[in-house]
Structure formats: structure tokens, C-alpha cells
DNA sequence: CACTATTATGAGCTTTTGCTCAGGTATTGG
DNA sequence: CCAATACCTGAGCAAAAGCTCATAATAGTG
């Protein structure tokens, strides 16, 4: 049971390479274990075992279980926002191409481990500060998308703000589903339909 | 930590009214506690406490914690499918009205306790049997929706099967979001946009 | 009312899990 | 080569949570 506002700082900062390596091993193992068993059943001992290090070492670098999840979330968000910054210059073009870029970006952004992402977002109880950061990133993304659509001449919806909220969420969640059940149908097919849906909606 | 394939049958079946009442109290309390604290932190002792019964009584009717969540899920699914059966005769009409009926149905179906539903769907690891039941119910619903759209003259999409999957999922998830964060915007507004998106998509 | 079946109780046993700490091993710097 | 520092180990502690069982209370029955 993760609880907000706990100590998240490590008790020891790595100074040698092997320490950095151990830290990475822990995080990689944690990502694997959390996404496989969920947060509650992803015990610290299991993580240590999977990382092939002792439980003691784990607690050298993370003060508690929550801190591990928090670190994973921070890493994901950092990676995500970095991608977004590069994605902006894809704005001009036909409406469909813009939507397609948006969908592709979402898909790419979740290829690694959708299970883990779900757990981080939905099971984690983080500090207010961390949650604010996430919210800000999300809002920033929505605003970014909004601007692109606001400029485009083909866009024709009653309420752009709500439309963008709806679209971003829909694309995001369908991406999750796609990544979580990869066997059912081809990714391109779903991508096409998703693009169609959003494009037709925006055109009015 | 819910694990699949465990005993779900009660060790005692109620034969008196007060027993049935106790069972209901447990389920009601469990729904409340799970949706408030999550599955992991929703302890059986807390459930018993909230139901104002002893922990011993709880284990008279449920062999373990998982069985309680499973029962809640079964009840939800049953209620849902019952509603669906009545919903079928809403088929004819304009495409928009059909879509609106679909969206309304989804919204109504999740008014009670979206938090709980989320937990059931996302934190529960159920037996294969139970999961099959859920899947079957879902597939049935998709097929139903598919039939309605297949008959409608205004529908024009490349791949109806994938389109219906996409639509049902999108409507479902947006409904979850709507119910989980009720404060942001008016329900009707989002409903309208959601209906617009789906309708325009289907029209092509 | 007496007798049995059913239901309710809750202290506490058992297991699980987050986490500590005393004591080792590797690495670095002089 | 030898301290000093950094790093690693894992048995086991304390707390929490799932669950049991002996016993008590209540409801049905003739």
C-alpha cells in the first residue's frame, strides 16, 4: 500500500560504477516484477531476487518500496517529455497526417511496458509534488495538441477543449489496450481506424 | 495479492434470512472498502469492521478475500447483461440516436461505483473460468452492437469488426474517466462530443 | 420448553512482507 | 601494500494481514 509523502531520497549515493550498475539492476528488475505481479504483490524481496542482488543492497539505494516506483515514474515522464519536444515540428500537413503523427507518437511512447505504466499511474500514491509534475506534463501535452488543431483550417468542432481532452485520452487508452493485448490484430489496422475516427470527428 | 485458481465457494450456504443479510452486509462493506482503499489495502478485518460483523462471520461465507471480489464482479456483470437485454429494442432510428443510446447505456451502467469497477477490472487476478465469463459477456455485447451497425444504412467503415471493437472500448473507457473525475465538466457536454465522434466516424 | 441446527464472535495463530544491522568483500588513494 | 572508504550480504525482526477455531448466541421445530 503506497502512501504519499514519504522519504524518497536514497541513503547512499553511488560513487563507483558497480554501484550505479546495482541501482540499474534494481530498477530494471522492479519494472519487470511490478508489471508482472502488480505493485502490492511485487515484493522488495522478489525484486532483489530477480535483480540477483541481496535485499540489503536494495535498501542501500532506495529508502522504501515507494521510492522505487517513484523513480521509475520519473524516468518514464522524463523520457516522454523529451520525445514530445521533438514531435512539435510535425505540426503542418493534412489533418490526417497530423492525427497520424499524434497516434504514432502515443504508440511509440508505450511500446516498452504498458503494464508497468498502468501500475504506475493507477496504483501509485505519490507525493503531491510528484503528482503535480505528472499533471503538468499531461496538461502541457493537451495544450500542445490543442494549439496544433486550433491552427488547422479543416478542424470543425463545437468545443475544441473538450474535443482535445477526449481525443488525447482516447488515443492514449486505445494505445494501452493495443500494447496490452498485442496478439489480436495488426497494429497498423487499429492505427488506421483510430486515425480515421479522430480525423472524421475533427472535420465535422 | 489476488491469485487465480483459488477456492471461491463459501463453506456455508445461508439458510436463514439473517445469514443472507450478513452476506449482503459483507458485500456492501467490501464494495465500499475496496473502492476507498484499493484491493490490497482493503483488508478483510476492515471489511468486517465496516460491515459491523466479526471477522469470523466473514469467513463463514467467503473462503478468502479473492472470493469477495469475484462475487462483486459477478454481480456487476450480471446486472450489466440484464440491462443489455432490454437495450436491444433501441436499435432503430437515426444513426446518432443509436449511438447516443449506446453511450447512455454505458454511462448508466457505471454510475454506481466506478472506483470499484476499476479495481475489479484492473487489480483482480481471477480464475480462468471467471475471466472466460467476463470475456464472453464482453464479446456478446460487441456482437450485439456490431449487428445493429451492420444493419444501419448510414454506416460506412472499412472494417466493421475493428471499428466496433474500437468504439465499444472507447465509449467504455471514456465513461470510466467521466465517472472517476466527475467535477471537471458537465456530463452532457462530454456525452455530446463522444456521440459526435463515434457518429462521424461511422458515417465516413 | 427442550433440543438441534444455524449463525455469530473475536482472541490469536500463521504467513507474508517491508525493512534493519552487524559483519563481511571489493575498490580506491596514498 | 595498507588503510579507508564504498559496497554488498542475508539472517532475522517487527508489523501487518489473512485466516482458524473453540465457544457463545440465536433461530427453527415438535
Nearest nucleotide, C1' to the C-alpha of B16? C6
Structural domains in chain B, sorted by start: 6-68 (1.10.10.60), 76-203 (1.10.357.10)
Task: Report the distance from CA of residue B90 to the C1' of nucleotide C17 in Å, as an integer.
Answer: 52
Distance CA B92, CA B158 (A): 22
Q: Is B118 on the interface with A (CB under 8 A)?
A: yes
Both ends of chain A: CA-CA distance in Å?
A: 46
Contacting residues for B203 by C-beta, under 8 A, at least 6 apart: A200, B95, B154, B155, B156
Contacting residues for B155 by C-beta, under 8 A, at least 6 apart: B95, B149, B202, B203
Task: Tell if the CB–CB gap between B159 and A40 is shorter than 8 Å.
Answer: no
Contacting residues for A118 by C-beta, under 8 A, at least 6 apart: A176, A180, B122
Q: What digits encode the pLDDT tens for the residues B28-53?
A: 999 999 998 888 889 999 999 999 99
CB B27 within 8 A of CB B48: no
Nearest protein residue to nucleotide C7 (CA to C1' distance) is B19
Which residues 43-102 of B have a C-beta within 8 angstroms of A?
none
C-alpha cell at B144: 450485439
Residues of B in contact with A166 (CB under 8 A): 174, 190, 193-194, 197
User: Dmax of chain A from CA atoms?
Assistant: 60
CB B200 within 8 A of CB A200: yes
Q: What digits encode the pLDDT tens for the residues B127-165?
A: 677 777 778 878 888 898 999 999 999 999 999 999 999
Q: Indicate the pTM of the whole model.
A: 0.79
C-alpha cell at A129: 509534488
On the question of pLDDT at A11 being above 70, the answer is no
Q: State whether the beta carbon of B16 lies below 7 angstroms from any atom of strand C.
A: yes
Distance CA B31, CA B68 (A): 9
Phi, psi of B153 (to 5 degrees): -70, -25
Task: Report the distance from CA of residue A17 to the C1' of nucleotide D3 in Å, as an integer.
Answer: 22
Q: Helices B17-41 & A17-41, crossing angle to 10 degrees?
A: 160
- The band of B3, judged by pLDDT with boundaries at 50, 70 and 90, is very low
Tell me the CA distances in angstroms from A105 to A38, A100, A149, A200, B30, one per residue in order: 26, 8, 16, 19, 40
Distance CA B84, CA B90 (A): 10
CB B38 within 8 A of CB B30: no
On the question of pLDDT at A187 being above 50, the answer is yes
Radius of gyration of chain A (CA): 20
Distance CA B150, CA B185 (A): 33
Q: What digits encode the pLDDT tens for the residues A53-109?
A: 999 999 999 999 999 998 998 888 777 666 665 555 555 689 999 999 999 988 887
Amino acid at each position: 500500500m503506497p502512501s504519499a509523502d514519504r522519504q524518497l531520497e536514497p541513503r547512499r549515493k553511488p560513487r563507483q560504477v558497480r554501484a550505479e550498475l546495482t541501482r540499474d539492476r534494481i530498477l530494471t528488475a522492479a519494472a519487470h516484477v511490478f508489471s508482472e505481479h502488480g505493485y502490492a504483490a511485487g515484493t522488495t524481496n522478489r525484486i532483489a531476487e530477480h535483480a540477483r542482488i541481496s535485499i540489503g543492497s536494495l535498501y542501500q539505494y532506495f529508502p522504501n518500496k515507494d521510492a522505487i516506483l517513484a523513480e521509475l515514474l520519473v524516468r518514464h515522464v522524463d523520457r516522454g517529455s523529451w520525445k514530445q519536444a521533438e514531435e512539435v515540428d510535425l505540426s503542418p500537413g493534412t489533418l490526417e497526417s497530423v492525427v497520424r503523427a499524434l497516434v504514432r507518437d502515443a504508440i511509440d511512447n508505450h511500446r516498452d511496458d504498458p503494464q508497468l505504466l498502468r501500475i504506475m499511474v493507477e496504483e501509485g500514491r505519490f507525493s503531491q509534488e510528484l503528482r503535480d509534475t505528472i499533471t503538468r506534463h499531461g496538461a502541457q501535452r493537451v495544450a500542445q495538441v490543442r494549439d496544433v488543431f486550433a491552427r488547422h483550417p479543416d478542424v470543425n468542432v463545437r468545443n475544441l477543449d473538450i474535443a482535445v481532452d477526449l481525443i488525447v485520452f482516447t488515443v492514449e487508452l486505445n494505445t494501452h489496450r493495443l500494447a496490452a493485448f498485442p496478439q489480436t490484430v495488426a497494429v497498423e489496422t487499429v492505427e488506421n481506424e483510430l486515425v480515421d475516427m479522430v480525423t472524421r470527428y475533427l472535420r465535422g
